[in-house]
Structure 1
Amino acid sequence: MSKVENEKDIVEYVVTPQEPVNEDHHDHDDKIEKGDLEHDSLLASGHIQLTADELSALEAKLPECSAEQAKEILEEVYTVHQHDPRYDPETLERMKMFISDKNIIANPDTYHSLIFEMRILALLTSTSSAYPEVRAVAADMDDPTLPSLTIRVWLIGTILSAIGCVINAVFVMRYPAISISSNVVQLVAYPIGVAMAKLPNWKLFGLELNPGPFNKKEHLLIVIMSGLGMAFPPTQHLILAQAMPQWFGMEYAKKAGYQFLGALGTNMIGFGFAGITRRFLVYPSYCVWPASLSTIALNNALHDHAGSRTPVRGPFKTVWRASMYKCFWIVFAIYFVYYFFPGYIFPNLTIFDWIAWIKPTSGTLVAITSSNFGVGVGFNPLPTLDYNYLAMPGGYFPMFVHYNFLAGLTLGLLLAIVFWTRNVLNTGYLQINSPSTFDHKGKSYVVRNIVDKFGRLDNAKYQQYSEPYMSAGRLVGFIGTFGYTTGTLTHTLLYNRHELIMGFKGMMVDFKHWWARMRGRAVEGEVINAGDDIHYRLMQAYPEVPEWWFIIVVLASMVISFCCLGIYTPVSPGVVMIAPILTVIFIIPVGIVTAVSGLEPSLNIIAEMVGGGIAGGDTMTVQFFRMFGSEPVYHALIYANDLKLSHYVKINPRHMFWVQIWGGLLGTFITVAQWNWLMAIPKVCTPDAPFRLICPGGQGDYSNFIFWGTLGPHRLFGKGGRFTWLLIGLPLGVIFPIVMFVLKKRFPRNKVLQASHPLLLILSFGWASGASWGSYVPGLFINLFSWNFLKKRYLEFWSRYNYVTLAALGTAISINAFLVFFCLVFPGVDFPTWWGNGGGTPGCIGSWTNADCGRYKIGAKGYFGPDPGNYH
């Protein structure tokens, strides 16, 4: 059967067969009728998600794009996006047929519906974006004459960065965490910027005080500067684990010089790598960075109060005329008032453990149904009535992200239940999903009982004390983490090899051009474009930041880090030279996953494992290997997300460079200045901490350092080790993406397979450690309504209101939490005690270190596991 005959397997827009048509025998009305039919059929099919206005605008441009030109454009589109789960599988198949079958263009009358669709798709991808979520917020035009890096940006951005940084340094230690988000800064900055635009246009240091109306680009630069200032340094959890007396209690970790140099070094290394990898993580159109879209939506609303008043059809036969600005304030007001209940009056709405409350002393009931951190796996159909509690809020991410993540997480949590009920590695004596490390009595593991005065393992003490034990959830977490480590590389090579090849070719071409200019020679040779959409082309109007600027930042940061270790610690500064190799290997694969899905994978375990393998028994070396091996990746992703934000809004890249440098420096200075004050709060970083400052990040770091540092991977995961079999995750991480890749090739039209993302499945499986099903599943329900119902049926309504609604929710939560904490909770104005703020924490619900809440009871010996003196 020929390719032409295979067209019957492709869903056509018109139900009746299309016969070849000779247009010479039809009048003008017939052409119009056929065009209208194709227009309506394309909208109805849903293969390409377009509003009627968007389609009409593209149809007007059809004379600019012939079938041959469309084929040339779509050949590159297909190469890049053939594995893109955002694309409809049927559309990809039609695209493949169009570019591979020569008979289609040769027979335009027979295939006019398919050709029409492909020409529209080619125009869409080349003049705008194929993703409705990007089109909803990012303009496909620019005004390069707008001022951006003005005095207003420096003044407002610096002040708001400082204020936000002071606040966030406290809230990051809280569970659930609350932060002053970038949208709060954006909201506060707007009236200040507008007011400054009314000042006289004096000059200060050669810059105009008032260069004109306060515009979007200035506004976003303030947001970006403040966001980086408020983003706590990647070493914060690490410093807590090192300095707190209930954990490692290291005195050097309390010294301001050590804290500042370590924070600045890791922060700026991340910034440098973000800039170097722009062509992989920022410029490609598939790198959407979903978290940045609501920020742009709020920016659009604030700078266009009237907005579009064109009526749009909404659900339930409604018609909506409200502007984005009006929508924002309505949603903000409603949720601001509501959040007083979960945030102050009725805290049990946040973790709504109504099933566990039936019998809170039942370890099994609590383990299965509680969503409290470290206590249970959270299988609860109504786990929360607090949007802030959601670990994956609905509305931001495409459906494939929610489907894959929840599927992997569910499998991981079910396996944790199996481990717990079967008492695998004595996990049945512990709570099912605790992040802590335990001794053989079910108490928190005290690392000082097994180390000498230099923090190194003392085997005699170890044999007298206890082997370390961990919960069932952490066992699953290690399997998933090992799988993700190898799966990241395998998945990237399978699905993104074309982009990697083109990116590295582009870097080589740029280097050759730079070398030619340095030698005074004419620049010759091809130019390889790193982007494939209108936003990348519009950004070519601005001078780019050379790669060597970022390379200098990386080298300077490594010198700072070298000084940090050499001056303050007994650890060899050579760690700074070795550890960043991990960043080099993983920054692009991990960055692509984050840019596509919006999730931020962690490389901490692999860094600790490698560091422990190099220096087993030396906890400090492992800590610093993590500090300079994986933490820079985390911060690089923050910087890369902001680079994409500026890419969408068309901000001069060199202006972005200086704003990011200043924001990072400012945030590091201010955050470090607060650390010792925060660590002096009584009972901080314990389950009994005031204001819920339990420091879940520091607790997790401490537990991991015990395994990978003090005891080392050789003892625990080497030959004869109790946890060796968990390394099965490493080969599974290689095999699973390959199997899924083959299946997708074999069944290209299977929507379930095409929407599956092997790496997200592995990642979420590993996130079962410490995670709760209840903190993720509500986001799926919200997303089903937003993306599956509203977006598919009411695209124009969804485009106008979805992201501005999300911005309003996040802003309302942040401002309300700020007011409640500092105006009521901190001064000690507590709401009267009642069951809604105290009835959900008794028994096994209130602590993740309660040995009485395990599946099994400790026997008469008073401990479980082998006898002291017989440890591996």
Structure 2
Amino acid sequence: MADHGTVASDVKSEFPPEKTSFEFNEKGNLSDTNVSLQEEEVENSPIEAVRLAVPLHDDPTLPVVTFRFWFISFLFAALGSTIQQYYFFRSTSGSYSIFFVNLVSYTMGKFLAKVLPTAKFSLFGHNFSLNPGPFNIKEHALIGIAVATGSNAAYAIDILSATDIFLGFRVNALGSLLMIITTQSCGYGMAGMLRKYLVYPAEMVWWGNLVQVVFYNTLHKTDDFSRIRMVRGWSRLKFFWVVVGGMFLYQFLPQWLAPILLYFDWLCWINPFNQNFWAFFSSVSGSGIFSFSFDWTSIGGSAMYLPLAAQLCSYGGAILSYWIIFPFLWLNNVLGMKTIGVPMTSRLFYDNGTRFSINQFLTSDYSVNETMYEAGPPANMAPMYALGFMYSFIALSGYIWTNWKRALSSTEVDVHTKMMRVYPEVPQLWYAIFYVIMAVAACLVCEFYGTQLPWWGLLLALFMGWALTLPIGVMNAITGYGPGLNVITELVCGYILPGKPIANMVFKCYGYMAMYQCNQLMSDLKLGHYMKIPPRAMFVGQFWGTLVGAFFNYITMILIIDSQRAALDNSKPDPNGLWTGQRVQTYWGSGLIYGALGPARMFALDGKYWFVYIGFLVGFLAPVLLWLLSKKFPKISWSKINISIIAGGMGAFPNGYSMGLTTSLITVVIFQYYIATYHKNWWKKYVFLLSAALDTGAAFTGLVIFLFLGAGISSKLQVVVPPWWGNYYVPGEENTPNMPYRSVDRCGAAGDKWQSGTL
């Protein structure tokens, strides 16, 4: 990988190596003159945010796939996949921040560059060195990409855990690893074959990458970034660390000391024991109308830079659904919403509001005993959960065909794609062969490891991923938003393979993950473009991360299930309350509902929830209506109204926890409207670096709390904050006279004992 070739002639003429960087004036803004030593202006991206964040320079001689890359990426991918899998079975949640990885790997890379020997070695005719020179920005970025690829709890773990815990059989190591790797890698092959449409065009921005580019360039003090001065004349790096430190300290308030700031449901306080107030204004269990959250993780740095129109569509959809539709349904007890008593939940209930359990209707092979089920009352969904299916259908069908057309007609090649022509490309054939191998391996897994899913069902799942990845990828790349395929895959399999819950889980996993993983890897390919990482190095780095992550996901799963089985299958409660099988139970329950009970029964045309299918019609007709309106009123920007994003916002909180909506919307208006419009230079100079610093600081706080204060590793490492007005009741003392509230939001009677507002 050391020989990257020479610069192609067409690239040389546009980007002479010594003249491919911008000049900045004394205020740190892009200078209007002296952009290039040539007479003509250097070509740049048509997207303003990309012009601001991504430098126009490259050094093709920098080594990328080095010993330091292999060592550091393995270490952090193994650690990340283990930690994320560990979180998967814990009652406490946490995250493995890529900002943490980037900061620590930067320090480690610098250290290894100082201590490793520089002598050259020969292996299979190739010369290499453990220390080929200073730790560079491309090497660093590829480490981050490999770690991000591998540091997750693979979706296939849900299937393997559910069959092990609830059915009592364990897929062997080979079958398990093949399932994990194939579910993660099928999307990888798709990403390579679709890069022409979703990576190369300039309008395919993949917004989250811009923050990463600024982050890397700030740490490595590249020329374009080192010349910019921030407030008080600080360097960008100093500004970054000051903001990180401030956010790190602040986040201890909402995350640990005063969680009331996390759920600041001030309207609940007016009448805290009124059931209607609880349903409307609680952001924990209700719709969170005008609720605030002062926790930065509930807002997120993306609110500062994602396209304004897309964010307003998303938040507008959420307001329509949860602040307008929800109160109407609740007050009128539509479909028994108030009888159920739980405003937003994915559980099933009988007509009288008691909880439904499917286990009593299952046969020995986990299919439904039709006679027994039909003899009793039917199961019902909470209305907001049923509407969530309708919204997902709107999101899927809305703009699908428009995005297909947009993707296939995107011909404006990104300037950074032109710069990447200096490197040998990965042939499409490589990706095609890789995809076929993974698909065949997936078929073998389905046929030989008791998944209930035949090979043709697996191919149908992969076909669904293929058919919908391109339009969904366009939305993700351009707007930062996009629907998922988890619901539609469950429904399709429920119709074609009724009564087979395991098959439903596997079908959902392959169909959904093919699209999801493809989008994630596509985003990484765009980051590689922005960072000028050779494509073949990207190929190696991404698959390397996948392999490492799969192995440590599996090992961690086995160790935890073997040591904590009683707590995970609820046969014996964990005395410390740290281990839970809730996430596995949710996935398994979904497989039972849609695989065993079946969508044909739940969404029958003569049943209560027939309306969910209207979503398809609305999704197809809405773009036509907007097109007609654009012809009638051409001065209005109808194209900025995205039905799919609106529908996604309408179904954003199916299980509650609707905190942060008001605060996020205020943040969007401040940064993406007011500052971006009236203080443009400030926005250009600060927004991406500020976003990265705030997210980094918040991530570090969460990690410290989890490890050292919240019993994340051991129950001995737990520091309990004494009860005070900033937190809530101690667990087990809900009914004490001085602590009567349901939760930290100060809304809702303990033990469902209401003073007013009852049925």
TM over 0.5: yes
The CA distance in 1 between the partners of 2:430 and 2:543, in whole Å, is 11
Query: What is the correspondence of 1:489-528 to structure 2 with a 5 Å cutoff?
Result: 489-493=400-404, 497=405, 499-501=407-409
Partner of 2:155: 234
The CA distance in 2 between the partners of 1:821 and 1:168, in whole Å, is 12
Query: What is the correspondence of 1:419-458 to structure 2 with a 5 Å cutoff?
Result: 419-430=329-340, 431-440=342-351, 442-458=353-369
The CA distance in 2 between the partners of 1:851 and 1:612, in whole Å, is 37
Long gaps (5+) in structure 1: 1-49, 65-122, 313-318, 503-529, 859-872
SS in 1 for 2:697: helix
Partner of 1:410: 319
Tell me the percent identity.
26
Partner of 1:541: 422
Alpha-carbon shift at residue 232 of structure 1 (Å): 2.5
The CA distance in 2 between the partners of 1:52 and 1:825, in whole Å, is 44
Contact 1:353 1:840 in 2 (8 A): no
User: In the alignment, is residue 563 of structure 1 matched against residue 563 of structure 2?
Assistant: no
Partner of 1:476: 387
Partner of 2:552: 670
The CA distance in 1 between the partners of 2:298 and 2:624, in whole Å, is 35
Alpha-carbon shift at residue 467 of structure 1 (Å): 2.1
User: In the alignment, is residue 300 of structure 1 matched against residue 217 of structure 2?
Assistant: yes
Partner of 1:130: 46
Q: Deviations over 1:30-53 (max 9, x none)?
A: xxxxxxxxxxxxxxxxxxxx9973
User: In the alignment, is residue 214 of structure 1 matched against residue 100 of structure 2?
Assistant: no
Q: 1:331 to 1:666 in 2, by over 3 A?
A: same
SS in 2 for 1:207: strand
Q: Match for 1:53: what amino acid?
A: L
Contact 2:67 2:130 in 1 (8 A): yes
The CA distance in 2 between the partners of 1:757 and 1:174, in whole Å, is 37
The CA distance in 2 between the partners of 1:52 and 1:345, in whole Å, is 40
Partner of 2:67: 151
Partner of 2:683: 798
User: In the alignment, is residue 781 of structure 1 matched against residue 666 of structure 2?
Assistant: yes
Partner of 1:282: 199
Q: Match for 1:721: what amino acid?
A: G
The CA distance in 2 between the partners of 1:641 and 1:554, in whole Å, is 18
The CA distance in 2 between the partners of 1:813 and 1:385, in whole Å, is 12
SS in 2 for 1:136: helix
Q: 1:203 to 1:593 in 2, by over 3 A?
A: same
For residue 376 of structure 1, the aligned residue among 266, 282, 286 is 286
For residue 56 of structure 1, the aligned residue among 33, 38, 43 is 33
Contact 1:262 1:561 in 2 (8 A): yes
Partner of 1:622: 504
Q: 1:707 to 1:727 in 2, by over 3 A?
A: farther
Q: Match for 2:259: what amino acid?
A: P
Partner of 1:83: none
User: In the alignment, is residue 603 of structure 1 matched against residue 524 of structure 2?
Assistant: no
Q: Match for 2:680: what amino acid?
A: L
User: In the alignment, is residue 837 of structure 1 matched against residue 727 of structure 2?
Assistant: yes
The CA distance in 2 between the partners of 1:345 and 1:703, in whole Å, is 35
The CA distance in 2 between the partners of 1:51 and 1:403, in whole Å, is 31
Contact 2:184 2:514 in 1 (8 A): yes
Partner of 2:306: 397
Q: Match for 2:294: what amino acid?
A: L
User: In the alignment, is residue 634 of structure 1 matched against residue 516 of structure 2?
Assistant: yes
Partner of 1:487: 398
Q: Match for 2:49: what amino acid?
A: E
Q: Match for 2:599: what amino acid?
A: P
Q: Deviations over 1:491-520 (max 9, x none)?
A: 324xxx254156xxxxxxxxxxxxxxxxxx
Alpha-carbon shift at residue 648 of structure 1 (Å): 0.5
The CA distance in 2 between the partners of 1:240 and 1:391, in whole Å, is 31
Query: What is the correspondence of 1:243-392 to structure 2 with a 5 Å cutoff?
Result: 249-252=166-169, 256-304=173-221, 307-309=225-227, 320-356=232-268, 360-372=272-284, 375-382=285-292, 384-390=293-299
TM-score, L = length of structure 2: 0.85
The CA distance in 1 between the partners of 2:29 and 2:210, in whole Å, is 22
The CA distance in 1 between the partners of 2:578 and 2:483, in whole Å, is 25
Partner of 1:196: 112
The CA distance in 2 between the partners of 1:366 and 1:587, in whole Å, is 40
Q: Match for 1:252: what amino acid?
A: F
Contact 1:691 1:825 in 2 (8 A): no
Residue range with higher mean Cα deviation, 348-357 or 332-341: 348-357
The CA distance in 1 between the partners of 2:748 and 2:130, in whole Å, is 55
For residue 616 of structure 2, the aligned residue among 724, 730, 743 is 730
Q: 1:612 to 1:261 in 2, by over 3 A?
A: same
The CA distance in 2 between the partners of 1:578 and 1:228, in whole Å, is 25
Aligned residues: 703
The CA distance in 1 between the partners of 2:453 and 2:227, in whole Å, is 64
Q: Match for 1:170: what amino acid?
A: Y
Contact 2:451 2:503 in 1 (8 A): no
Q: Match for 1:165: what amino acid?
A: S
The CA distance in 2 between the partners of 1:446 and 1:256, in whole Å, is 32
Q: Match for 1:290: what amino acid?
A: W
Q: 1:815 to 1:344 in 2, by over 3 A?
A: same
Q: Match for 1:664: what amino acid?
A: T
Q: Match for 1:304: what amino acid?
A: K
Alpha-carbon shift at residue 348 of structure 1 (Å): 3.0
The CA distance in 1 between the partners of 2:525 and 2:250, in whole Å, is 34
For residue 747 of structure 1, the aligned residue among 614, 623, 633 is 633
The CA distance in 1 between the partners of 2:656 and 2:344, in whole Å, is 8
Long gaps (5+) in structure 2: 1-26, 735-740
The CA distance in 2 between the partners of 1:463 and 1:135, in whole Å, is 62
Q: Deviations over 1:695-753 (max 9, x none)?
A: 776565445434421121222223323211221111001001121133234434324x3
Q: Match for 1:352: what amino acid?
A: F
For residue 709 of structure 2, the aligned residue among 814, 824, 831 is 824
Alpha-carbon shift at residue 537 of structure 1 (Å): 0.6
Q: 1:611 to 1:548 in 2, by over 3 A?
A: same
Q: Deviations over 1:503-554 (max 9, x none)?
A: xxxxxxxxxxxxxxxxxxxxxxxxxxx6522111101111111112112222
Q: Match for 1:500: what amino acid?
A: L
Alpha-carbon shift at residue 834 of structure 1 (Å): 0.6
Alpha-carbon shift at residue 758 of structure 1 (Å): 2.3
Q: Match for 1:420: what amino acid?
A: W
Alpha-carbon shift at residue 409 of structure 1 (Å): 1.3
Contact 1:342 1:349 in 2 (8 A): yes
Contact 1:254 1:676 in 2 (8 A): no
Q: 1:649 to 1:320 in 2, by over 3 A?
A: same
Alpha-carbon shift at residue 683 of structure 1 (Å): 5.2
Alpha-carbon shift at residue 802 of structure 1 (Å): 1.7
Q: 1:817 to 1:760 in 2, by over 3 A?
A: same
Alpha-carbon shift at residue 589 of structure 1 (Å): 0.7
Q: 1:594 to 1:237 in 2, by over 3 A?
A: farther
User: In the alignment, is residue 162 of structure 1 matched against residue 78 of structure 2?
Assistant: yes
Contact 2:271 2:277 in 1 (8 A): yes
Alpha-carbon shift at residue 59 of structure 1 (Å): 10
Contact 1:172 1:178 in 2 (8 A): no
Contact 1:289 1:641 in 2 (8 A): yes
Contact 1:380 1:774 in 2 (8 A): no
TM-score, L = length of structure 1: 0.75
Q: Match for 1:169: what amino acid?
A: Q
Q: 1:229 to 1:483 in 2, by over 3 A?
A: same
**CA RMSD, aligned part only?**
3.2
Q: Match for 1:458: what amino acid?
A: N
For residue 146 of structure 2, the aligned residue among 222, 225, 248 is 225
